[in-house]
A and B are shown apart, each in its own frame.
Chain A
Amino acid sequence: MMNRLPALRGERGLTQADLADALNVSRQTVNAIETGRYDPSLPLAFAIARFFNRTIEEIFQAQA
Protein backbone atom coordinates (compact mmCIF):
# COMPACT_ATOMS: atom_id res chain seq x y z
CA MET A 1 0.00 0.00 0.00
CA MET A 2 1.41 3.38 -1.03
CA ASN A 3 0.66 6.45 1.02
CA ARG A 4 1.16 10.20 1.15
CA LEU A 5 1.86 10.34 4.88
CA PRO A 6 5.39 11.77 4.62
CA ALA A 7 4.16 14.58 2.36
CA LEU A 8 1.12 15.34 4.51
CA ARG A 9 3.27 15.29 7.61
CA GLY A 10 5.76 17.63 5.98
CA GLU A 11 3.02 20.11 5.05
CA ARG A 12 2.21 20.48 8.73
CA GLY A 13 5.83 20.45 9.89
CA LEU A 14 5.31 17.31 11.96
CA THR A 15 7.86 14.69 12.87
CA GLN A 16 6.97 11.01 12.96
CA ALA A 17 6.97 11.27 16.76
CA ASP A 18 4.51 14.20 16.63
CA LEU A 19 2.16 12.25 14.39
CA ALA A 20 2.53 9.16 16.59
CA ASP A 21 1.56 11.16 19.69
CA ALA A 22 -1.44 12.63 17.90
CA LEU A 23 -2.65 9.18 16.83
CA ASN A 24 -1.65 7.47 20.10
CA VAL A 25 0.57 4.97 18.34
CA SER A 26 4.31 4.41 18.54
CA ARG A 27 6.78 6.22 16.28
CA GLN A 28 7.78 2.78 14.94
CA THR A 29 4.20 2.25 13.80
CA VAL A 30 4.16 5.55 11.91
CA ASN A 31 7.50 4.67 10.33
CA ALA A 32 6.27 1.20 9.36
CA ILE A 33 3.15 2.66 7.72
CA GLU A 34 5.10 5.34 5.84
CA THR A 35 7.67 2.86 4.52
CA GLY A 36 4.98 0.40 3.45
CA ARG A 37 6.06 -2.32 5.86
CA TYR A 38 2.71 -2.25 7.63
CA ASP A 39 -0.83 -1.48 6.42
CA PRO A 40 -2.95 0.16 9.15
CA SER A 41 -6.22 -1.32 10.31
CA LEU A 42 -9.42 0.38 9.27
CA PRO A 43 -9.88 2.26 12.57
CA LEU A 44 -6.31 3.56 12.41
CA ALA A 45 -6.69 4.48 8.72
CA PHE A 46 -9.82 6.46 9.60
CA ALA A 47 -8.00 8.16 12.48
CA ILE A 48 -5.18 9.16 10.11
CA ALA A 49 -7.65 10.46 7.56
CA ARG A 50 -9.53 12.44 10.23
CA PHE A 51 -6.29 13.93 11.53
CA PHE A 52 -5.26 15.17 8.10
CA ASN A 53 -8.81 16.09 7.12
CA ARG A 54 -8.63 13.92 4.03
CA THR A 55 -10.39 10.79 2.82
CA ILE A 56 -8.64 7.43 3.18
CA GLU A 57 -8.35 7.15 -0.59
CA GLU A 58 -6.55 10.51 -0.75
CA ILE A 59 -3.90 9.19 1.65
CA PHE A 60 -3.59 5.49 0.78
CA GLN A 61 -3.43 3.92 -2.65
CA ALA A 62 -3.08 0.27 -3.56
CA GLN A 63 0.26 -0.56 -5.13
CA ALA A 64 0.07 -1.13 -8.87
Chain B
Amino acid sequence: MSPSLTAPVKYAGRAYLVEICLTMGLYVGAVAARPWLIAHAASPGLATGARVLPALPIWLTFAAIWRYYRRIDEFERLKFLLSIALAFAIGSCAIVTYAFLEDAGLPPLALTWAWPTLAVSWALTSALLSLDKHR
Protein backbone atom coordinates (compact mmCIF):
# COMPACT_ATOMS: atom_id res chain seq x y z
CA MET B 1 0.00 0.00 0.00
CA SER B 2 1.71 3.22 -1.17
CA PRO B 3 1.37 6.50 0.70
CA SER B 4 -1.66 8.53 -0.23
CA LEU B 5 -0.80 10.62 -3.27
CA THR B 6 -3.01 13.45 -2.09
CA ALA B 7 -0.80 14.27 0.89
CA PRO B 8 2.99 14.59 0.68
CA VAL B 9 4.69 12.27 3.12
CA LYS B 10 6.71 15.09 4.63
CA TYR B 11 3.55 16.67 6.09
CA ALA B 12 2.30 13.39 7.57
CA GLY B 13 4.02 13.86 10.93
CA ARG B 14 2.79 17.41 11.37
CA ALA B 15 -0.81 16.49 10.45
CA TYR B 16 -0.66 13.52 12.82
CA LEU B 17 0.57 15.69 15.67
CA VAL B 18 -2.24 18.20 15.13
CA GLU B 19 -4.91 15.49 14.94
CA ILE B 20 -3.61 13.63 17.99
CA CYS B 21 -3.43 16.83 20.04
CA LEU B 22 -7.03 17.58 19.06
CA THR B 23 -8.30 14.12 19.98
CA MET B 24 -6.37 14.07 23.25
CA GLY B 25 -7.71 17.53 24.06
CA LEU B 26 -11.22 16.25 23.43
CA TYR B 27 -10.49 13.22 25.60
CA VAL B 28 -9.25 15.30 28.51
CA GLY B 29 -12.20 17.66 28.13
CA ALA B 30 -14.65 14.76 28.06
CA VAL B 31 -13.09 13.16 31.15
CA ALA B 32 -13.23 16.50 32.98
CA ALA B 33 -16.81 17.25 31.95
CA ARG B 34 -18.08 13.71 32.54
CA PRO B 35 -18.96 13.95 36.26
CA TRP B 36 -20.88 17.17 35.79
CA LEU B 37 -22.72 15.82 32.73
CA ILE B 38 -23.67 12.61 34.57
CA ALA B 39 -24.89 14.57 37.59
CA HIS B 40 -26.97 16.95 35.47
CA ALA B 41 -28.22 14.51 32.84
CA ALA B 42 -31.92 15.00 32.07
CA SER B 43 -32.54 11.27 31.62
CA PRO B 44 -30.89 7.89 32.34
CA GLY B 45 -30.14 7.59 28.62
CA LEU B 46 -28.28 10.89 28.57
CA ALA B 47 -26.44 9.87 31.75
CA THR B 48 -25.26 6.71 29.98
CA GLY B 49 -24.21 8.80 27.03
CA ALA B 50 -22.23 11.04 29.36
CA ARG B 51 -20.57 7.99 30.93
CA VAL B 52 -19.33 6.71 27.57
CA LEU B 53 -18.42 10.19 26.25
CA PRO B 54 -14.61 9.88 26.74
CA ALA B 55 -14.60 6.79 24.56
CA LEU B 56 -15.55 8.83 21.49
CA PRO B 57 -12.24 10.78 21.30
CA ILE B 58 -10.43 7.44 21.67
CA TRP B 59 -12.14 6.26 18.48
CA LEU B 60 -11.14 9.55 16.85
CA THR B 61 -7.57 8.86 17.98
CA PHE B 62 -7.72 5.53 16.18
CA ALA B 63 -8.93 7.36 13.07
CA ALA B 64 -5.98 9.79 13.33
CA ILE B 65 -3.57 6.86 13.74
CA TRP B 66 -5.04 5.13 10.68
CA ARG B 67 -4.81 8.34 8.63
CA TYR B 68 -1.16 8.71 9.67
CA TYR B 69 -0.45 5.10 8.71
CA ARG B 70 -1.99 5.70 5.25
CA ARG B 71 0.13 8.82 4.71
CA ILE B 72 3.58 7.57 5.63
CA ASP B 73 6.05 5.64 3.47
CA GLU B 74 7.13 2.02 3.78
CA PHE B 75 10.11 2.57 6.09
CA GLU B 76 8.16 4.83 8.43
CA ARG B 77 5.38 2.21 8.47
CA LEU B 78 7.86 -0.46 9.48
CA LYS B 79 9.05 1.64 12.42
CA PHE B 80 5.46 2.62 13.27
CA LEU B 81 4.23 -0.97 13.37
CA LEU B 82 7.31 -2.02 15.35
CA SER B 83 6.64 0.68 17.93
CA ILE B 84 2.98 -0.41 18.25
CA ALA B 85 3.94 -4.09 18.58
CA LEU B 86 6.52 -3.31 21.27
CA ALA B 87 4.12 -0.97 23.05
CA PHE B 88 1.43 -3.64 23.09
CA ALA B 89 3.87 -6.21 24.45
CA ILE B 90 5.28 -3.92 27.14
CA GLY B 91 1.90 -2.47 28.09
CA SER B 92 0.30 -5.91 28.29
CA CYS B 93 3.11 -7.17 30.50
CA ALA B 94 2.68 -4.17 32.80
CA ILE B 95 -1.10 -4.64 33.01
CA VAL B 96 -0.87 -8.38 33.70
CA THR B 97 1.88 -7.84 36.28
CA TYR B 98 -0.24 -5.31 38.13
CA ALA B 99 -3.26 -7.60 37.95
CA PHE B 100 -1.30 -10.29 39.81
CA LEU B 101 0.02 -7.70 42.29
CA GLU B 102 -3.57 -6.78 43.14
CA ASP B 103 -3.79 -10.23 44.71
CA ALA B 104 -0.83 -9.24 46.89
CA GLY B 105 -2.77 -6.29 48.22
CA LEU B 106 -2.12 -3.45 45.82
CA PRO B 107 -5.18 -1.26 45.26
CA PRO B 108 -7.33 -2.43 42.36
CA LEU B 109 -7.20 -0.19 39.30
CA ALA B 110 -10.14 0.50 37.02
CA LEU B 111 -9.99 -0.81 33.47
CA THR B 112 -9.84 2.81 32.31
CA TRP B 113 -6.14 2.73 33.28
CA ALA B 114 -5.42 0.21 30.51
CA TRP B 115 -5.48 2.84 27.76
CA PRO B 116 -3.10 5.29 29.52
CA THR B 117 -0.74 2.36 30.27
CA LEU B 118 -0.65 1.36 26.60
CA ALA B 119 -0.34 5.00 25.51
CA VAL B 120 2.63 5.62 27.80
CA SER B 121 4.39 2.44 26.66
CA TRP B 122 3.74 3.48 23.03
CA ALA B 123 5.18 6.93 23.70
CA LEU B 124 8.30 5.30 25.21
CA THR B 125 8.83 2.84 22.35
CA SER B 126 8.23 5.59 19.75
CA ALA B 127 10.75 7.83 21.51
CA LEU B 128 13.35 5.03 21.61
CA LEU B 129 12.84 4.13 17.95
CA SER B 130 12.90 7.80 16.94
CA LEU B 131 16.49 8.04 18.21
CA ASP B 132 17.22 6.28 14.95
CA LYS B 133 15.53 9.18 13.12
CA HIS B 134 18.28 11.66 13.89
CA ARG B 135 20.95 9.94 11.85
Contacts and interface: CB of A to CB of B under 8 A. Distances in A.
Interface in B25-74: 72-74
B10 A40 contact: no
Given A29-B74, A44-B74, A24 B9 contact: yes
Nearest to A40: B74
Contact of A26 (B2, B5, B73, B132): B73
A28 interface: yes
Interface centre among B9, B75, B76, B78 (most CB of A within 10 A): B75
Chain A interface size, under 10 / 10 to 19 / 20 to 34 / 35 or more = 10 to 19
A31 B135 contact: yes
Contacts of B74: 25, 29, 40-41, 44
Interface in B73-111: 73-76, 78
A34 to B, nearest CB: 10
Contacts of B9: 20, 24-26
B73 A25 contact: yes
A31 B9 CA distance: 15
A55 to B, nearest CB: 21
Contact of B133 (A25, A28, A38, A44): A28
Interface in A25-64: 25-29, 31-33, 35, 38, 40-41, 43-44
A20 B135 contact: no
Contacts of B12: 26
Given A31-B135, A35-B135, A24 B3 contact: yes
A41 B75 CA distance: 9
B8 A21 contact: yes
Interface of A: 20-21, 24-29, 31-33, 35, 38, 40-41, 43-44
